[in-house]
Structure 1
Amino acid sequence: MTKGSHYTAEDSRRWVAEPPKKGYRSDFERDRARVLHSSALRRLGAKTQVVAPDTDDFVRTRLTHSLEVAQVGRELGRVLGCDPDVVDAACLSHDLGHPPFGHNGESALNEIAHRIGGFEGNAQTLRLLTRLEPKVLDAEGRPAGLNLTRASLDAACKYPWTAPDAPLVHGQRTSKFGAYEDDLAIFEWIREGAPAGRSCLEAQIMDLSDDIAYSVHDVEDAIVAGKFQLRWMANPDHRARVVGYTQQWYLPHSDPEGIDAALARLEATPVWVLEADGSRKSMAALKNMTSQLIGRFCDSALGLTRAAFGDAPLTRYAAQVVVPEETVMEIAVMKGLATTFVMTTDHRQPIYERQREVLHALVTALSATGDRHLEPMFAADWRAAEDEAARLRVVIDQVASLTDSSALAWYERLVGSLPSLW
């Protein structure tokens, strides 16, 4: 059993048994270190969060976003009684499976992989942690990824089900899932003894921290990048668009009046920055706003969770995170601001089309040339694949591992001149 008396020996168990290690670190501290030193985490530094990483020195990448999520999650977990390193490792891991070009790239690869079970960033994260990232091999020489403990892997499972078992949400089956069918063995091992379809407390903290961090920071990035100002919300047309996109993308079963009220609550806070002009004073005010809003959202969730489950240390399946409905709506409104003024603007649509074109062409080119252009690890996987479907999954793994810039470089090398807009 690792440090932290509320975790068991089964929580600390690894898929591939490792010799006992001497030293001052717990099993969970080793998990966090393995993720922090992984090549998959480093690659997030060149992957799109919302604004492309090569457009501005200030904007967040998926790496800086993951570090910020880990900071929020670690503190939330510590206050509730979780091992901070379990939560930290899960937060650092949560975006590892995202391909080039953000959610647009994820959508493109899902289209390409539809006949082999699709592509899902969270399922790809599990695949990286348990198979693709080089660290540990089993006795037969098969890859075991980073070989994290059961508790840390479970904490990284945001959607603890496979695609066929995905639950119904408001009458529709969710498209999100956490494991591919050919990763079922390790997934079932991770989930031994867990309630079906329920994520552990540490995973719920990771999920909430992700929502909080990107809802606030994406707005900050968009303002600094000159995409919009919060004073625009005084314009009825702009305000209606934000309310509409918030409802369409994040709160489809909420009424517009409730969403507008959530925006009004945020506007009434003393830290709301109507306009940032790039001066040091305005930038400090903007940074203070992001900090205070993160605290606002965290405090509300901590208060309601403690009210529901008491003051004892909470871990694994002893409790669930409880978030007030008003906070859920305020977080969604922050997401809606970035969606309205960054992700859905007309000038972005041709770029999204070119990004999808690049990924489709890369998969086609690599599939047609066998293992010739694959990196050595993926080439070995391709040669070991048993059928065409397994080989396509290897190609998808390779393309998903690329950064935004390396995907473009591979396209130029394997296909030809980049599509217009690049």
Structure 2
Amino acid sequence: MSSSPYAADPAASRGREFPQHGGGTRGPRSAFQRDRDRIIHSIAFRRLAGKAQVFVAPDGDHYRVRLTHSLEVAQIGRVVARSLGLDEDLAEALCLAHDIGHPPFGHSGEDALAGALEKHGGWDHNEHCLRVLMRLERPYCDIEGLNLSWEVLEGLAKHNGPVAAPGWALQELDAAFPMDLHLHASAEAQVAALADDIAYDNHDIDDGLRAGFLQLDDLLTLDFLSEQWDAVRARHPDAPQPLQLRELVRDQIGAMVNDLIETTKANLSGMGSVQDVRQAGRAVAAFSPEWASRERRLKAFLYERLYYHPEQVETARVAHKVIARLYAAFDQDPSLMNPGWRETLPADAALRARHIADFIAGMTDRYAIDCHRRIFGDVPEGLSNV
């Protein structure tokens, strides 16, 4: 339960898009607790277990995927929300749902879908997240979507700040259930966005080192990591290096979390309501200038050494080709789609393109690979790089 005046209050929620009855028979939960549970029980959430985080279709069992990443983000988000007196359940729901819109193969899959829909409004994984939760996921007999609270939906729509130029998907959803796109989101949503940064900045280091794409000596060219590494070795001089590296990642996460809490607490001082947060004209959840600079440097390092590693670039190229070929195949011959999807394929060109993209975006990495094998008889080499 939140304890601060600037926290979102589930009892004062702006409600859901569609009225529902009989909710009290399913346990004494707040609106935001119900949202979290609806997300966890959704098919779209389960599919995150088969979607790439950094490495496409990894053979190793120890690499992160979208699902495990989302759970780690939620753990960080809850800690920060609790420390700030925010609503933990809302923060957790936002953290768990934030990657649901990702297609197979991560950003290379997104780029392929955006290219395929270039003449029909484009494609964006953040907006598709809202589309999945509000329209495509259908667990109820008489309504569309998961019917989540307004606060969850607006937080997902605006977790990176106000949206000045929404794409077609968000325009349609906002017209049906307005989300105040010109304002900032709640503090819980802002915390969830930075919890995501903390999680992937540091856990991608862990996976990159494990895969051999990152080298410790290169990592230690970042002075703040070098200082933490020296401190770890001083505390645990006889520990094996793999354990020292895990200690380094934990220390880095802890330092970023503590800085986020202190800085955000100061920014929230004097605010008397969640509306004050939305109308502040700036993000209130933030790192200090020192740690914001460090986070930018770390992210730049990861892009240079991990995300744009030559093997990663080649894998992304192959993955892009797979998604582009699947889209073209379904567009040319809808009978190749699953029955439920081909039977509901619209005639209008834009709606048809978006329908095919919805089908592909819901695939896991391995399902997309299997579809490519079924249609074209092969799987391009280099699609799994670890």
TM-score in terms of structure 2 length: 0.86
CA change 1:32–1:377 in 2 (3 A) is farther
The answer on whether the counterparts of 1:47 and 1:101 sit within 8 Å (CA) in structure 2 is yes
The answer on whether the counterparts of 1:160 and 1:199 sit within 8 Å (CA) in structure 2 is yes
1:337, CA displacement in angstroms? Answer: 3.2
The answer on whether the counterparts of 1:80 and 1:314 sit within 8 Å (CA) in structure 2 is no
CA change 1:366–1:81 in 2 (3 A) is same
Quick one: percent identity of the two aligned structures?
A: 31
The answer on whether the counterparts of 1:156 and 1:203 sit within 8 Å (CA) in structure 2 is yes
Correspondences of 1:269-348 after superposition (within 5 Å):
269=228, 281-310=240-269, 315=274, 317-318=276-277, 320-348=284-312
Correspondences of 1:135-174 after superposition (within 5 Å):
135-136=139-140, 138=142, 144-157=144-157, 158-159=159-160, 165-166=164-165
CA change 1:191–1:38 in 2 (3 A) is same
The answer on whether the counterparts of 2:110 and 2:123 sit within 8 Å (CA) in structure 1 is yes
CA change 1:26–1:293 in 2 (3 A) is same
TM-score in terms of structure 1 length: 0.79
Where does residue 418 of structure 1 map in the other structure?
A: 379
1:363, CA displacement in angstroms? Answer: 0.4
Say whether residues 1:209 and 2:213 are aligned partners.
Answer: no
**Aligned match of 2:206 in 205, 220, 224?**
220
Cα distance in 1 for partners of 2:232, 2:52 equals 26
Give the letter for the 2:191 counterpart: I
The answer on whether the counterparts of 1:230 and 1:273 sit within 8 Å (CA) in structure 2 is no
Q: Structure 2, unaligned stretches of length 5 or more?
A: none
Cα distance in 2 for partners of 1:316, 1:133 equals 30
The answer on whether the counterparts of 2:160 and 2:193 sit within 8 Å (CA) in structure 1 is no
Greater mean alpha carbon deviation, residues 54-63 or residues 121-130: 54-63
Cα distance in 1 for partners of 2:111, 2:191 equals 26
Alignment RMSD, CA only? Answer: 2.7
**Aligned match of 2:364 in 403, 406, 417?**
403
Give the letter for the 2:108 counterpart: N
The answer on whether the counterparts of 1:219 and 1:335 sit within 8 Å (CA) in structure 2 is no
CA change 1:160–1:302 in 2 (3 A) is closer
Give the letter for the 1:373 counterpart: L
How many positions carry a matched residue from both structures? 368
Higher helix residue share: 2
Q: Structure 1, unaligned stretches of length 5 or more?
A: 167-176, 240-262
Say whether residues 1:27 and 2:31 are aligned partners.
Answer: yes
CA change 1:209–1:294 in 2 (3 A) is same
Q: Deviations over 1:91-113 (max 9, x none)?
A: 11111111111111111111111
Give the letter for the 2:196 counterpart: D
Say whether residues 1:186 and 2:193 are aligned partners.
Answer: no
1:414, CA displacement in angstroms? Answer: 1.7
The answer on whether the counterparts of 1:216 and 1:335 sit within 8 Å (CA) in structure 2 is no
Greater mean alpha carbon deviation, residues 60-69 or residues 286-295: 286-295
Cα distance in 2 for partners of 1:11, 1:413 equals 47
Say whether residues 1:373 and 2:332 are aligned partners.
Answer: no
The answer on whether the counterparts of 1:219 and 1:334 sit within 8 Å (CA) in structure 2 is no
Cα distance in 2 for partners of 1:282, 1:378 equals 51
Where does residue 19 of structure 2 map in the other structure?
A: 17
Greater mean alpha carbon deviation, residues 126-135 or residues 80-89: 80-89
Where does residue 248 of structure 1 map in the other structure?
A: none
Give the letter for the 2:15 counterpart: R
Cα distance in 2 for partners of 1:8, 1:387 equals 40
Correspondences of 1:75-90 after superposition (within 5 Å):
75-90=79-94
Cα distance in 1 for partners of 2:178, 2:229 equals 45
